[in-house]
Amino acid sequence: MSLLRMVGRPMLASMFVAGGIHSMRRPADVAPAAEPIVRPVADRVAALPDDTEQLVRLNGAVHVVGGVLLGLGRCPRLAALALAAALVPTTLAAHRYWEAEDPSDRAQQRIHFLKNLSMMGGLLIAADDTGSAPSLLWRGRHTARGLRHDAHLVHRSVRATARPAATAGGIRAKLGN
């Protein structure tokens, strides 16, 4: 692992771990801001709990687990994708700057909104980072290409040896052996 990955991933993950722990410990602090986003989503997705505080805790748990995995470099691509997905409702619930009345509050919320947007960009880059190893898609294509090449060689080999064998078998049959 490169030094940049070793240092950068925990730095990116730290905000999610800290925020996730806060959301899990004190969901009542976040629930009122999350209500406008939680209610429409919970009504459409039956698998989600109806209680806003439970959904805040669940989102916090995703942030903590994803942040720890990303920070430790364990399943970093999957962790980054999970964090990016969980960051969408967090940003839309907590930083609705377009609804703020006070100009200074609006400016502050816009800054936080853009900060979260920047973090999402970093997470998407991390989700695409293969760590200098080929991606699974490339490995699959490379393996398939190799298998096709091997099958072609076997086919050519069988054809090359089948004709002389058939000829020898025909001669042997004519001779009566």
Q: What is the DSSP string of the chain?
A: --HHHHHHHHHHHHHHHHHHHHHHH-HHHHHHHHHHHHHHHHHH-TTS-S-HHHHHHHHHHHHHHHHHHHHHTSSHHHHHHHHHHHHHHHHHHH--GGG--SHHHHHHHHHHHHHHHHHHHHHHHHHH--TTSPPHHHHHHHHHHHHHHHHHHHHHHHHHHHHHHHHHHHHHHHHT-
Confidence of residue 168 (pLDDT cuts 50, 70, 90): confident
pLDDT of residue 116: 93
- Interval 37-92: pLDDT, tens: 888 888 888 888 888 899 999 999 999 999 999 999 899 999 999 999 999 988 98
Which has the higher per-residue pLDDT, 102 or 131? 102
Q: How many Å separate Cα 69 from the centre of its chain?
A: 12
Which has the higher per-residue pLDDT, 133 or 34? 34
- Structure-block tokens of residue 55: 């959904």
Confidence of residue 134 (pLDDT cuts 50, 70, 90): confident
Q: Is the pLDDT of residue 1 over 70?
A: no
pTM of the model: 0.70
Which has the higher per-residue pLDDT, 84 or 136? 84
Question: What does pLDDT average to over the chain?
Answer: 89
pLDDT of residue 65: 97
Residue 83, CB-side half-sphere exposure with 13 Å CA sphere:
36
Mean pLDDT of 147-156: 92
Kindly report the number of other CB atoms within 10 A of residue 38's CB atom: 23
Confidence of residue 143 (pLDDT cuts 50, 70, 90): very high
Mean pLDDT of 9-24: 94
Mean pLDDT of 138-164: 89
